[in-house]
Amino acid sequence: MTDADDDASASEGGADADHEDPLAAAGVDPVVPEDASEAEFPADDEVREFLRDVAEDVRGDSSESRQLSAILYRVSDLYDDEEETSPEEIYLNVRHIMRIKAEGGLRR
């Protein structure tokens, strides 16, 4: 499913018509550049550990702090040679999480 598909379902009165995309509401540009998924992120222990330390620092009791922590940890995977991910995969994962949250969570 693409952003265009999402826009079409929203304009047709689909389930998303009642909820604004949280990323759009936050002013985040939902377009991932074509070359982002092919970008090279060389393994960098220092960057990876820094991101994971920050993730641990921001993790708290609120769902928002846990989500931010998870996002930071996922971004740190870009710098881990044992992980296979891309900025596009991370973006799509975060967008999915934000939509679920906007709709009241998995256990509505």
Q: What is the pLDDT of residue 99?
A: 84
Full-model pTM: 0.62
- Residue 30 pLDDT class (50, 70, 90 cuts): low
Q: What is the pLDDT of residue 11?
A: 42
Q: Over the chain, what is the mean pLDDT?
A: 77
Q: Which long-range contacts does 26-31 make (Cβ < 8 Å, 24+ apart)?
A: 30/3, 30/91, 30/95, 31/3
Mean pLDDT of 36-40: 65
| Whole-number percent of the chain with pLDDT over 90 | 33
CB 64, CB 94: distance < 8 Å: no
What pLDDT, in 10s, does the model give residues 41-88?
A: 889 999 999 999 999 999 999 988 998 999 999 999 999 999 988 888
